[in-house]
Amino acid sequence: MLVAAGLTLNIISALMTNFFIDDVTRQANELVQQQQNNDKLITLIWQQVETVDRKKEYVLELILTSKYQEKPIPTEIKDQVINEINYWLDQEVKELSIDGIPTLITLLNKAQDDRREKINQLYLDNLQLIEEHADKMKSVSQLRNLALFLQIIGLALVLARDLNWHEHRLEER
């Protein structure tokens, strides 16, 4: 009877390890993967913020140079710059001029702010993922401790029978 109880506890421990602990560990690994993906996305979005900043500087230089030299921006260059700027904006810009600078800067700043807000949200998501991961790892630790306890008790029950049998044989002699 002791052997059967001991073996049962060892089987329960093995099943816990196989089903529960492995599943929770897999979930924890998925959380880490999501966090890493968010980190990569944060880096890419931050590069976009810097790119928009460089575009803003370039457009200002182009417009101011054109004004100070009292020459219009060549049409091919102007069209290319407008296409590049419009890629980053929600609203289309049709002309580059001194009078349009405040509106253009406002639109570019909004594009940067939107991306910064996305970065902030991803960062907050990562904080939540870190917390969830810590909870999962705590659960894994508790389950492993329980599985180990069940294995030890199961082994003790199996050994108790052997020790009992060994003592019984010594008494017979």
Instruction: Judge whether residue 170 has pLDDT over 60.
Output: no
Q: Per-residue confidence at 52, pLDDT binned at 50, 70, 90?
A: very high
Q: pLDDT tens, 92-145?
A: 998 888 899 999 999 999 999 999 999 999 999 999 999 999 999 999 999 888
Distance CA 112, CA 50 (A): 8
Buried b (16+ CB within 10 A) or exposed e, 148-160: eebbeebeebbee
11-15, 61-65, 100-104, 133-137: least confidently modelled range: 11-15
Q: For 76-92, what is the mean pLDDT? A: 92
Q: What pTM value is reported for the model?
A: 0.76
Cα angle value 132/129/51 (rounded, 5°): 175
Share of the chain above pLDDT 90, in %: 60
Q: Per-residue confidence at 152, pLDDT binned at 50, 70, 90?
A: confident
Q: For 2-172, CATH number?
A: 1.10.287
